[in-house]
Amino acid sequence: MRLGIDLGGMYEPPDYYLDRAQSVEAAGFDSLWFGDHFQPWFHDGGRAPFAWSWIPAALERTDAIPIGVFVTPPLYRYHPLVVANAAATLDNMYPGRFRLGVGTGERVNEHPFVDEWPSWAERGTRLTEAMEVIRAYWTADNFFGYDGDHFSFDPIYPYEQPTTEIPVYFAATGPKSAHLAAEHGDHLVTIASVPDVESHVVEPYRDAGGDGEVVFQTVGGFGDVERLVDRVASSFASTLRPENLGERDPRRLQTSGERISRAEIREAFLFASTANDVLAWLDEQAAKGADHAVITDVSFEQEVFYEVAAEEILPAL
């Protein structure tokens, strides 16, 4: 089992998370991620640093840890050619260290850039085309164009191509998206709290030929459990309601989360006060098919968590 940290970026200014990036690498975690959010999942005290500005700064501050975006939808905010060019540029400057996470998106992040929020089927088709465009940009040896249902452009030349193979982590929370992940991604990212995640996501991914790494993501924190539950109740708890993927107002998302019971929050997320709590949770995820777990860290004392991880958690994996 590999273990990574998603700093998320929703609670503090971006420079705070740059310092934490160095601590994550020093502790020995396997990966570091940063959320791509135009708006946070909550309003009070929320932040939304631009991931594609933060990531190159974090790559410069660190030495070797892989750093990824968690996740970018190359659909409305970004044209896939822009994502392809940006990722290739990062790989030229920091070869082999950038990870591209992609997904079909959330309305809270995309609604200013699209007139109506499309169905998942439409967004899935659009993401399929986007991945074809991105991979063509990365690999074409001459001018190329594209003529799809959602993206179309006359021939262009890919002047900035990656120097290594950029791994694509494809987000999925159901069997249909898991099949897309197997076809168009190199690895699968799913949410640990998805009901029956093994049969609903992991097995469809494997059955469709997906042979990459399976990454389970969870919101999690280390420290005073009751205080952490309070923090998540007014921030990330709204992610437990699938219908909130179609919500566009962080104020309503926050209110939705505050109506979710503490018992449900405790069940869905990782709240740990000891290293053994974390290790037991990791064992549970490995049994469900996870190869790599990523904790979206909501700890108040993140440095304490990373010290415990360095001394007790990571050596045990």
For the chain, what is the radius of gyration of the CA atoms?
19
Only one residue has tokens 């089992």, namely 1
CA end-to-end distance (rounded Å), the chain: 6
Contacting residues for 235 by C-beta, under 8 A, at least 6 apart: 10, 11, 40, 41, 42, 46, 254, 257, 298
pLDDT confidence of residue 111? 92
Asked if residues 195 and 212 have their Cβ atoms less than 8 Å apart, the reply is: no
pLDDT confidence of residue 242? 87
Predicted model pTM: 0.96
**How many domains are there within the chain?**
1
Please give the residue range of the domain that contains residue 180: 2-316
Question: How far, in Å, CA of 193 to CA of 9, rounded?
Answer: 21
Residue 244 has pLDDT above 90, yes or no: no
| Helical H segments across 69-119, by residue range | 80-93, 107-110
Mean pLDDT of the chain: 97
Return the active site residues: 37, 106
Percent of the chain's residues with pLDDT above 90 = 97
Q: How confident is residue 89, by pLDDT bands cut at 50, 70 and 90? A: very high
Question: How far, in Å, CA of 151 to CA of 276, rounded?
Answer: 49
Residue 245 has pLDDT above 90, yes or no: no
Question: How far, in Å, CA of 82 to CA of 134, rounded?
Answer: 9
pLDDT digits (tens, 9 = 90+) for 32-53: 999 999 999 999 999 999 999 9
State the CATH number of the domain containing residue 237. Answer: 3.20.20.30
Question: How far, in Å, CA of 194 to CA of 200, rounded?
Answer: 8
Question: How far, in Å, CA of 277 to CA of 309, rounded?
Answer: 12
pLDDT confidence of residue 300? 97
The separation between CA 316 and the C-alpha centre of its own chain, rounded to angstroms, equals 25
Helix or strand (DSSP H, E) at 64: none
State the average pLDDT over residues 152-177: 98
State the average pLDDT over residues 93-114: 96
Instruction: Count CB atoms within 10 A of the CB of residue 194.
Output: 18
